[in-house]
Amino acid sequence: MTARVRAGVLVSGGGTNLQALIDACAAPGFPAEIAVVISNVAEAFALERARKAGIATAVIDHKAFPSRDEFEAALVARLREHRADLVCLAGFMRLLGGTFLRQFPSRVLNIHPALLPAFPGLHGPRQALDYGVKIAGCTVHLVDEGTDTGPVVAQAAVPVLADDDEAKLAARILAEEHRLYPLALRWVAEGRLTIEGRKARVEAPPVAEGLSLRNPGR
């Protein structure tokens, strides 16, 4: 039996995307497992989700370090301790720099509630509504030193409905995030992702695995 890829997950909040990853990794034959969940916030409910699943947890408070480099070095050390092969950000509210990213080249994934490169940064659904777009969605991308600027791995589209407010749109996008993130993790864990310049390419066409434009909420 092939050894499963070990993922470390960084969190700061409630951890619904973490839960989606936990559930996916519990399925027979899934090619990844969660080695450790690390939060910079001791009260993050995501840590409780991990504990209930029997996953190792750690709290590394960024405020305890005099510099970002030292904080990132502590994150890397804990991930190495748990033999993490790749990293998933699941609501981790800190930007990561070179000290961290050089240790996991093209092996750090993030999920963002917008169709990048549109609406990077905070409040993607609010930005979409303010701009008046008709299609919103979510993106899994590789993390670089910019703000949501790394190569796009996968996207899912969500229509913006006439009666949407930020909460309604965000909830429908979140449902797609929970479907998309485990799929992207599977691709990476199976070695099906290649990087060509700024583009991330997956071997199998996404539509072949059910990743097609859908109309949630209709």
Residues with catalytic roles: 112
- What does the DSSP 8-state code read for residue 7? E
Beta strands in 1-151 (DSSP E): 5-11, 32-39, 56-59, 86-90, 108-112, 135-142
Residue 54 φ/ψ, nearest 5 degrees: 75, 25
CA distance 97 to 218: 41
β-pairing, 152-159 vs 32-39, is: unpaired
Amino acid at 136: A
CA distance 1 to 19: 25
Identify whether the C-beta of residue 166 lies closer than 8 Å to the C-beta of residue 5.
no
Q: Which residues contact 110 (CB under 8 A, 6 or more apart)?
A: 88, 89, 92, 140, 141, 142, 143, 148, 150
